[in-house]
């Protein structure tokens, strides 16, 4: 199976190993990630201003690229996924916005046809967690791992539609498929303060430590996240248990983590 792949800026710069884990793991599961040619930054955040189209053009071009390739579009960073998914929804539901965007398109119009998946959704909906479980060569049995969702994977739910925003299960099911025990805790989908860490480092630290302490109180020995900024923020604010990006954990379980140094 081939999919169009949008890696995002962080995984191509400060976190290249996490990008390579995504490639190697997909390959082990029979999925080829075909990176978009000449992709640009998704815009970083999605603004709801209808007359602001400049920061959304990169996302629209990525979406059209996937449609032209007749492939689903897969993202691995929760921030990129949020921006691209919301942009796609805006094109689908707001004709005025779609018209403005298409005035900038040099290679034909785009009308919201692309199917957008986060890498976790790809594992659940396209690969299947049962197949993932069968593909594990290094079982994580006995490890107690807490999933940290953060803000952007699940909200706004009317657009993202990945899981129940208040009681999600996709990351816990992912952890279980790798053989580990999934730790459920109250603050797993609350904000870590990543986006305000420069303006209010005290608040970011308070939020992060509350999440870490809550996970540990429920027995967690490790936290996994799908957002590079969340990972950085939790680690930077004093996490005393490992905070790991989900693709790294996946690569370890599939036995391809050692290949990332090639």
Output the pLDDT for position 259: 55
Q: Which residues of the chain have pLDDT under 70?
A: 259-262
Decide: helix, strand or coil at residue 146: strand
Topology, domain 2-120: Glutathione S-transferase Yfyf (Class Pi); Chain A, domain 2 (1.20.1050)
Phi, psi of 72, rounded to the nearest 5 degrees: -70, 155
What was the pLDDT predicted at 262?
45
Q: What is the mean pLDDT of the chain?
A: 93
Domain 139-261 carries which CATH code? 3.40.50.11810
Confidence (pLDDT) at 200 = 85
| Whether residue 156 has a cis bond before it, omega within 30° of 0 | yes
Q: DSSP assignment, residue 138?
A: S
Q: Residues 6 or more apart from 153 whose CB is under 8 A from it?
A: 78, 81, 82, 118, 120, 160, 162, 163, 168, 226, 227
Q: Residue 29: what are its φ and ψ, rounded to 5°?
A: -100, 5
pTM equals 0.94
User: Any idea where the domains of the chain sit in the sequence?
Assistant: 2-120, 139-261
Report the DSSP pairing between strands 144-148 and 222-225: parallel
Q: Which residues contact 203 (CB under 8 A, 6 or more apart)?
A: 193, 196
Tell me the torsion sign for CA atoms 174, 5, 118, 155: positive
* Per-residue pLDDT, 12: 84
3-class secondary-structure state, position 84: helix
């Amino acid at each position: 199976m081939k999919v169009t792949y949008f890696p995002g800026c962080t995984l191509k710069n400060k976190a290249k190993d996490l990008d390579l884990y995504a490639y190697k793991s997909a390959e082990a599961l029979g999925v080829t990630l075909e990176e978009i040619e000449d992709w640009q930054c998704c815009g970083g955040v999605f603004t709801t201003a209808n007359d602001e189209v400049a920061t959304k053009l990169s996302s629209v071009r990525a979406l059209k690229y996937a449609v032209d390739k007749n492939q689903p579009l897969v993202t691995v960073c929760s921030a990129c996924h949020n921006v691209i998914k919301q942009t796609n929804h805006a094109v689908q539901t707001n004709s005025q916005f779609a018209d403005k965007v298409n005035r900038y398109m040099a290679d034909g119009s785009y009308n919201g046809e692309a199917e957008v998946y986060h890498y976790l959704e790809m594992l659940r909906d396209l690969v299947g967690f049962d197949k993932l479980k069968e593909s594990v060569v290094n079982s994580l049995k006995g490890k107690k791992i807490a999933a940290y969702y953060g803000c952007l994977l699940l909200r706004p739910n009317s657009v993202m539609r990945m899981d129940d925003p208040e009681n999600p299960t996709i990351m816990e099911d992912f952890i279980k498929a790798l053989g580990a025990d999934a730790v459920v805790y109250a603050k797993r989908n609350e904000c870590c303060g990543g986006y305000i860490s420069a303006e209010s480092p005290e608040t970011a630290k308070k939020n992060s430590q509350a999440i870490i302490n809550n996970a540990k109180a429920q027995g967690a020995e490790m936290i996994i996240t799908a957002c590079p900024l969340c990972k950085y923020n939790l680690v930077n604010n004093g996490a005393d248990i490992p905070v790991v990006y989900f693709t790294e954990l996946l690569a370890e379980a599939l036995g391809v983590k050692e290949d990332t140094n090639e």
